[in-house]
């Protein structure tokens, strides 16, 4: 490198601007013009940089060979043996000597032989142009837009390096100053990039385990949420799609807990209670109008259930009536009837039958020992036994209840047994009716319809249609009850379903100490469809109501509200918060390292470092908050998760190595 001294500038000193004297700095009558020198120096620098880039492996190999040879010479001493000399000569070519990689000098020699020696700068501007040219090939190691790489990877470190070289020109410190200047420039650029990329880097790492199918599902959920009117954050949608299989929710909680990011997320979530309320009421209105008198729904349901059960009973009686008709005309012999007649319970029920104003005339003219009378009396005995067994009824008596029950069974056993004077047709009729009751009536009486028939209020009635703890596999009997109720009162089942969901939503909307409950959506979804059986039952009931659109709307709403539960509750700092904030702290370190020479570890540097870290963390929190609450959050996070995760520092050190080598290959160094 030509020896340029500050005294070449008559009116300048080391503290002055070195560019102030560019028009006549060192120029001679034979010197190139300033623009020409800059252009030629820049072109020579690019050529040097390309050759240095191509010869980098050979240069490292040659340097390693010289180091190994030096070490062996030291071990061999002043008079090495022929074998030692042979070993020293063998390693002098480097570890890759057998491949003979070309060094920069090897590549440059034939080029200069063909076109002549490379142009050497004649001005300070030329020196800068040559250094910029030498650094230009290292831009290939960067990523991002070309303009940003040229400025950040070439111009800034080149200017910093050449400026440091100009200041120390002609001294032993010059090569080191040039390398240090390039390092400082590269660190500053890497630090700026690290600070800029910190939020996206954290989000990308947190979403790295999400697969494409899960991202697709999250995107569909986010679109559904916007259509429903309850927008989801990106972490909420992705968390639901992955069933909590990403760390994005932890990152969001950290952002929400910060001052910088919490402002954005607070505005986003402050609207959540009103959004959930509006979306839920829209779904409720799609199921049924709000009832004017909710308290009347329970009694209406009980009456409708009773009527539905009576329809089944009448159907059974109608089906078995021919079989009874065939047996009723049969009359038992007096001897066969005698065991029945002497039963006091039978005699009491027979008197009631004959004296009854309604039933008595129906059996007038039929003898006491006919199947028709025996069947009617035994029914009265059975009903009487049931009534006497109920402690709430007047005349409660366990003994009398047992007497009536056993007497009824005995009378029927005799009447249906031909061997005891009975008739087969009566046995057939009783068997047919027993099977019909067991198969068609008893399941209804013992299931939701029977319990609705005894419901005391509206909550008890709709609790059988949408139970909090439904029996596994019980959706079928619930939907059957819904259809039977609808057959009696078409408007009743939708009103019961709406009232059930509305009451659950009201409970989930309970205010908390800090104001509106922002978790209302998740609480409501968990209350009405928190288990697979609850969700299946709700879907089946809406299907049975014949409301496919309401079913779709309800399903979409619950999917969205369930996703809101992926938001982590605020609380005391956790280990996840600490790790995320430490990760954000680290991004400012390249800037701090670049600033360290100026402050040399002083308290001023500590203050600068802390301010840099806080500013970087605030910016990261703000950017993450905007990313998470954006309408296209899921797609943006997908893009971050699939990008390359190359470290700005790693790329910077690779460029620094090439730039330092290019500096070191100059003539005279």
Cα angle value 451/454/460 (rounded, 5°) = 70
Of the listed ranges 387-391, 410-414, 424-428, 511-515, the one predicted with least confidence = 511-515
Cα separation, 643 vs 638, whole angstroms: 9
Asked if 228 contacts 562 with a C-beta cutoff of 8 angstroms, the reply is no
- What is the full DSSP assignment across 597-666? HHHTT-HHHHHHHHHHHHHHHHHHHHHHHHHHHSTTHHHHHHHHHTS----HHHHHHHHHHHHHHHHHTS
Residue 67, classed as helix, strand or coil, is helix
- Flag whether pLDDT at 479 surpasses 70: yes
DSSP H helical segments within 96-233, as ranges? 104-115, 124-135, 146-149, 156-167, 174-206, 212-228
Model pLDDT for residues 85-101, shown as the tens digit of each residue: 766 666 666 565 555 66
Partners of 512 in beta bridges: 515
Model pLDDT for residues 142-187, shown as the tens digit of each residue: 665 667 677 767 778 778 877 877 788 778 777 777 777 777 777 7
Cα separation, 615 vs 621, whole angstroms: 10
Mean pLDDT for the chain overall = 81
- What is the full DSSP assignment across 143-170? -S-HHHHIIIIIIHHHHHHHHHHHHTTT
pTM: 0.66
Cα separation, 190 vs 185, whole angstroms: 9
Of the listed ranges 222-231, 268-277, 603-612, 615-624, the one predicted with least confidence = 603-612
Question: How far is CA 8 from each of CA 14, 34, 96, rounded to the nearest angstrom?
Answer: 11, 16, 46
At 573, the pLDDT band (50, 70, 90 cuts) reads very low
- Flag whether pLDDT at 15 surpasses 50: no
List all residues 6 or more positions away from 271 whose beta carbon is below 8 Å from its beta carbon. none
Look at residue 214 in the predicted model and tell me its pLDDT: 94
Please name the residue that has the structure tokens 């920069």.
Answer: 104
Cα separation, 394 vs 231, whole angstroms: 63
Radius of gyration of the chain (CA): 47
At 103, the pLDDT band (50, 70, 90 cuts) reads low
Cα separation, 623 vs 160, whole angstroms: 31
* Phi/psi of residue 443, nearest 5 degrees: -60, -35
- What whole-number percentage of the chain has pLDDT above 70? 70
Of the listed ranges 22-26, 407-411, 453-457, the one predicted with least confidence = 22-26
Query: Per the structure block, which two tokens stand in for 191?
Result: 């630090």
Average pLDDT (393-402) is 90
């Amino acid at each position: 490198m030509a020896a340029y001294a500050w005294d070449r500038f008559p009116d300048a000193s080391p503290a002055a601007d070195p560019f102030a004297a560019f028009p006549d700095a060192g120029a001679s009558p034979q010197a190139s013009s300033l623009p020409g020198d800059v252009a030629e120096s820049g072109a020579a620098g690019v050529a040097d940089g390309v050759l240095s880039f191509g010869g980098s492996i050979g240069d490292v190999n040659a340097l390693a060979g010289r180091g190994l040879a030096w070490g062996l010479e030291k071990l061999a001493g002043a008079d090495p043996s022929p074998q030692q000399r042979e070993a020293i000569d063998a390693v002098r070519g480097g570890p890759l000597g057998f491949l003979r990689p070309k060094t920069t000098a090897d590549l440059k020699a034939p080029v200069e032989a063909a076109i002549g020696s490379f142009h050497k700068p004649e001005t300070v501007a030329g020196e800068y142009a040559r250094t910029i040219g030498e650094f230009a090939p290292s831009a290939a190691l960067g990523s991002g837009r070309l303009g940003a790489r040229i400025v950040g990877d070439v111009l800034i470190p080149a200017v910093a390096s050449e400026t440091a070289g100009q200041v120390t020109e002609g001294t032993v410190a010059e090569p080191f100053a040039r390398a240090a200047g390039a390092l400082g420039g590269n660190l500053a650029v890497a630090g700026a990039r690290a600070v800029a990329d910190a939020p996206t880097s954290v989000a990308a790492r947190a979403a790295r385990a999400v697969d494409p199918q899960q991202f697709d599902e999250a995107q569909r959920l986010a679109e559904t949420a916007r259509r429903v009117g309850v927008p989801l954050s990106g972490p909420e949608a992705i968390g639901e799609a992955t069933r909590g299989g990403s760390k994005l929710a932890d990152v969001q909680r950290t952002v929400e807990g910060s001052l910088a990011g919490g402002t954005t997320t607070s505005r986003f979530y402050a609207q959540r209670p009103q959004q959930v309320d509006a979306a839920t009421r829209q779904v409720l209105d799609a199921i049924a109008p709000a009832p004017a008198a909710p308290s009347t729904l329970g009694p209406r349901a009980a009456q409708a259930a009773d009527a539905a059960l009576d329809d089944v009973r009448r159907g059974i009686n109608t089906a078995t009536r021919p079989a009874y008709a065939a047996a009723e005309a049969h009359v038992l012999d007096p001897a066969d009837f005698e065991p029945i007649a002497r039963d006091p319970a039978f005699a009491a029920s027979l008197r009631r039958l004959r004296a009854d104003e309604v039933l008595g005339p129906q059996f007038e003219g039929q003898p006491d020992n006919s199947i028709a009378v025996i069947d009617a009396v035994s029914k009265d005995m059975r009903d009487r036994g049931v009534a006497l067994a109920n402690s709430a009824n007047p005349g409660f008596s366990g003994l009398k209840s047992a007497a009536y029950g056993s007497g009824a069974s005995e009378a029927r056993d005799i009447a249906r047994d031909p061997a005891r004077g009975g008739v087969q047709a009566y046995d057939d009729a009783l068997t047919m009716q027993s099977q019909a009751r067991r198969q068609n009536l008893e399941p209804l009486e013992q299931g939701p319809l029977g319990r609705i028939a005894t419901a005391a209020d509206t909550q008890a009635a709709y609790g059988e249609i949408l139970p909090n703890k439904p029996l596994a596999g019980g959706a079928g009997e619930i939907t059957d009850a819904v259809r039977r109720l609808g057959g009696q009162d078409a408007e009743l089942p939708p009103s019961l379903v709406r009232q059930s969901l509305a009451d659950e939503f009201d409970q989930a909307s309970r205010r908390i100490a800090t104001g509106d409950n922002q978790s209302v959506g998740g609480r409501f979804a968990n209350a009405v469809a928190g288990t697979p059986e609850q969700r299946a039952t709700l879907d089946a009931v809406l299907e049975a109501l014949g409301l496919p659109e309401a079913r779709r709307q309800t399903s979409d709403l619950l999917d969205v509200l369930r996703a809101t539960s992926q938001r982590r509750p605020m609380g005391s700092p956790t280990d996840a918060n600490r790790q995320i904030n430490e990760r954000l702290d680290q991004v400012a370190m390249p800037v701090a390292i670049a600033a360290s020479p100026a402050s040399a570890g002083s308290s001023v540097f500590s203050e600068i470092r802390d301010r840099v870290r806080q500013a970087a963390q605030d910016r990261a929190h703000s950017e993450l908050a905007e990313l998470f609450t954006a309408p296209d959050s899921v797609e943006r996070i997908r893009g971050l998760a699939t990008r390359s995760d190359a470290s700005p520092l790693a790329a910077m050190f690779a460029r620094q190595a090439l730039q330092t080598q290019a500096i070191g290959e100059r003539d005279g160094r």
